[in-house]
Amino acid sequence: MQTPAAHVAGPAVSDEALTDPKLGTRIKVCGIVERSELDALAAQSVDFVGLWWGVPGGPHDLPVDQWRALAAAAAATGRLTPVLVTFAKNADAVGETLAGSPVRWVQLHGYPTPGFVRALKRIAPEVRVIKVLHVRGGECVEASLIGAYERAGVDLHLFDTVTADGRVGSTGEPLDATVVAGVADQLTRPFLLAGGISAGNRHAYAALAAHPCFLGIDVDTNARGPDGRISSENVKAIARAWREPGA
């Protein structure tokens, strides 16, 4: 199987620039399902857009043809970096979905093992991996595996909340900053914060935002308007609050 990078031109924004915490706060918006949402996000200088595939029962899960079309449209903006967001447990299936697309980032939700990360990197060595680290009940579920994940090839971490009933991903549940602070110093890769992130709660994460590995935020629920679609105004407010905290 060819890797995704073998099929596409070089990225508009380099991976090194995207993942350098010194170059400013990065904004990722997840659960995109329409091209109009991509246009709105490109206008707001969003960095990453999450496109769901392999999320059974997920409200923003896309059939592969629609996923490919939106991924191509995101890359064509020259601004947005599309990310495959998946719960898939088969590395070959993930590789097949990526092949022929411009996507060079994969976000692994759920609880894949470090071995899964290694398998994916073997199939698609140019792909960058975001591993979600789940915070539940006052602890980070994967804390003891962080070193193993990084050795396996994880490029970026994303802290997110698990609800009391076990739901993960785009729940809108607030992230426990205290738990993340206790884990952040173990990381040698940058991290994003997710879980109820909004324009009004940056102060609650001020210490984490000052951490040398802090890269940015991932939003879904609070980026949407009453109709459930991505709201340009909401995204603008969130991006301003996190990129210009003194404004």
All structural domains of the chain:
41-243 (3.20.20.70)
Q: Is 27:47 a contact under the CB 8 Å cutoff? A: yes
30: Cα within 13 Å, side-chain hemisphere: 30
* Length, in residues, of the chain: 247
Instruction: Please tell me the predicted confidence (pLDDT) of residue 174.
Output: 84
- How much is the mean pLDDT over the chain? 90
| pTM score | 0.91
| Helical H segments across the chain, by residue range | 15-18, 35-43, 64-76, 91-98, 114-123, 146-152, 177-184, 206-209, 232-243
119-158 pLDDT tens trace: 999 999 999 999 999 998 889 999 999 999 999 999 999 9
* Tens-digit pLDDT profile for residues 49-104: 999 999 988 889 999 999 999 999 999 999 999 999 999 999 999 999 999 999 99
As beta bridge partners, residue 86 has 108
d(CA 234, CA 238): 6
pLDDT at 11 over 90: no
SS3 state of residue 27: strand
**3 state DSSP class of 131:** strand
